[in-house]
A and B are shown apart, each in its own frame.
Chain A
Amino acid sequence: MTETFTIQIDRAEGSLQRLIGLIERRGFHIDRMTLADTGAHREVRLAIRPRDNSRSCDVLGRQIDRLIGVRRIAPAPASNAFAEEASVCPA
C-alpha cells in the first residue's frame, strides 16, 4: 500500500510544513522522508500510506501538485527505494 513520491518544492518559508500538513490532513501516514537541497529547489522524497482504503494516492498527488510552490511531483521509481540510513523520519 505504500507509495513513494519525489517532490520538488520552492525553498520558501512554510513550504515543507505546507506539504507535510496536506498529506496528513488528507488521510495519509508518512512512513519515510528525506529532504535534499538541489540548488534552486528542495527535493523531498516521501513514502506514504493511506489511512484507509477510501484514500487515493492519485488524488493526493493532484492535491500536492496544486500547492503553490510545488514545482514537480513524480512517483519515485521502485529501484530508487529508500535506503535505511536515509530515513530521517521512521514510522
Chain B
Amino acid sequence: MTAASPLPKAAAAPATGARLLVETLEALGVEVVFGYPGGAIMPVYDALTAARFKHVLVRHEQAAAFAADAYARVTGKCGVCLATSGPGATNLVTGIANAMMDSVPMVAITGNVASPLMGTDAFQEIDILGVTLPIVKHSWIVRDPNDIPAILQEAFYTATSGRPGPVLIDLPKDVQVSAAAAPRDFNPPLEQTRRIDPAQLRRAESAIGAAERPLLYIGGGVRIANAVEDVRAFAEATGIPAVSTLQGLGVLGPDWPGHLGMLGMHGLRAANEAVQQSDLLIVLGARFDDRATGKLTEFAPHARIIHIDVDAAEIDKLRHAHVPITGDLKTVLAALKPRKPAIETWRAQCEAAIAAHAFDYNAPGDGVYAPALLNALSQAAGDAFVAACDVGQHQMWAAQHCRFASPSAHLTSGGLGAMGYGLPAGIGAKLARPDAHVVTISGDGSFAMNIQELATLRRYNIPLKIVLLDNSMLGLVRQWQELFFEQNYSEVDLSDNPDFASVATAFGIEAFRITKREDVEAGIARLLAAPGPCLAHVLINPMENVWPLVPPGKSNTEMMHGAAR
C-alpha cells in the first residue's frame, strides 16, 4: 500500500499515540471510519475531532464492522472500524468474522485498558486479540506509541495484499496517551511476483483444448482479484459455459449466453446439472464451499479440476486439483492461451437447459410475489443497482432473481451468513457509492438485528433504500422445519412484529407499505425516486418457499422443486 501523503514525523512536541494514529490513518488515505466511543478509546476520540477523514457514529459496534466490510467490498479499499475495549470490542466480533469468511480487507481498531492492567480482569478488559485469533488474518497489540505508524501501515498492507482479510489492532490506553518521540515506518516487503508454474499452465491449456464438457466455476475471488473483465474475455474467447457461486454472481451477467447461473443449494437446476455432467471444471477464485457443492463426494463426479487461486492453502483443501495453479487470477488468465475447445454440442445443450429451467414469475393470488418484486426492482434500478442483503429466504431470492451488473453490486454475507448485515452494509455501500441505487434487501427477522442503524441513516441523511420483505416468520428456518422436521414449527413465528413502517417513521425515515401485487411497480418507482432514506415495508406470504433447494448433505442432483404459493 502506498501512502497518499508523507507519513507524519515527530514534530517539535512529540504527538501522543492517539494523535499519531489519526495522522497515520489520514496519511494512508482513509476517508471514512465507522465507530463507537467508550472509556478505553477516549484519547483516540479526543484526537478524532481534528481528523481530516469522516467518522460515522453507528449505534452498535457490529454495524461499524459490517459497514466497513461493505465499504471495502464496494471500493476495493480497506474498511476501518473503531471500538472501545470489552463490550465494544466483542461487539465487533461478528463483523470481523464476516470479513474473514468472505476475504474482505478490514482494519479493526480497539482500545484496551492500560498495559499494567492487562491480564488483571480490569473493568472492560477483554483479551480481544485472543478472542479474535481464529477470525483475523493477523493482529497486533501496540506496546509502544512509536510503533503506531509502522503497525498501521503493516495492517493496511496485510489486510489488502494477497488474499485479503480483516486485521485487528489493539491499543492499550497508556499507549494512546503517551508521547511518541521517534515514530517508525513500515517498509512493505518488495512485491514478489510469484512465478506461475509454466508447466501447470501448459497442462491447463491442453486439458481445456481437449475437454468435451468444460465449465467455468466462478467464485468471489474474481471480484477480489479485480479480474471481472479478464474472466469475461476468457469466457468469450473460449466459449466455455459457466456457473457462479453466490459471491461470483455479476461476473457474467444473467444475459451472458452460456451463463447457467448460480450453482448449489439454491442454485438453478441447469447449473447444477451442468456441473454433474462436466468433464473439466475450471475453478476461478472459488473454494468448494459446501453450500455450492452439496455432498462433496458426489460433486462433479466426472470432472477433472483446474483450480486457480491466489491462496495456495485452498488448493486440495476439499477437492483434489489435477492442475493446481497458485497465483493472481489476472496474471494467470493473461498467461493462459488454450485453443478453443470444440464444444458446440455441449454449449447447445447448456443453452437449451438455461431456457428449459428459466424462472417462472407467475404466482397464484394477488399478493406480492417476492421473486418477481426483486427481479423488477433490479431491472428498474439498472446498472446502478447495488443490493445489500440480509440472510434468509429473501437473500436467496435476491441472488436468484436480481440482475447484477458486477459482483460488487451484490453484497451478501456468504461465508458467515450473518443476519443483521443488510442495513449496516447498505450504509457502508451508499457512503462508498453515492451515485448508485443502493438497496438493502432484508427480512423481518434480520432487520430487527440491526434496526437501530435507522438512526445512523437519519443522522447522516444517507439516501439508502430498504426493501423489507416481511413474512412474519424466520422464513428460511420455517421452510427447513416444513421440509425436514415434519412441519414441527418451533420458534419461527414473528407475527407480533412491530409495524416496521411506523418504526421507520419514528426514526425519521420515510416509509410506506406494499401489500398487493398491483402496487409493486409504483412502490419500486417511489422507493427509487425518494430523495432521502426510504423504507418499503412489503407484506408477503408467510408460507412461501425458496425453490429449487438441495436438501442439506445431499448431492446437487437431488434438487427439490415446489410451486409458488
Contact = CB atoms under 8 A, between A and B. Distances in A.
A62 B138 contact: no
Contacts of A58: 316
A14 B133 contact: yes
B313 A59 contact: yes
Secondary structure of the A side of the interface?
A: helix
B480 to A, nearest CB: 26
Looking at A17, A56, A66, the one whose CB has the most chain B CB atoms below 10 A away is: A66
Interface in A5-30: 13-14, 17-18, 21-22, 25
B317 interface: yes
A52 to B, nearest CB: 14
Contacts of A2: none
Contacts of B133: 14, 17-18, 21
A65 interface: yes
Given A14-B129, A21-B134, A65 B313 contact: yes
A89 B97 CA distance: 31
Interface string B157-196: 0100011000000000000000000000000000000000
B307 interface: no
B130 A17 contact: yes
B237 interface: no
A68 B137 CA distance: 7
Nearest to A17: B133
23 contacts: A13-B129, A13-B141, A14-B130, A14-B133, A14-B141, A18-B133, A21-B133, A21-B134, A56-B316, A58-B316, A59-B315, A59-B317, A62-B312, A62-B313, A62-B315, A63-B313, A65-B312, A65-B313, A66-B163, A67-B138, A68-B137, A68-B138, A69-B138
Given A14-B139, A17-B133, A63-B313, 14 more contacts: A13-B140, A14-B130, A14-B133, A17-B130, A18-B133, A21-B133, A22-B134, A58-B316, A59-B313, A59-B315, A62-B312, A66-B311, A66-B312, A68-B137
Interface of A: 13-14, 17-18, 21-22, 25, 56, 58-59, 62-63, 65-69
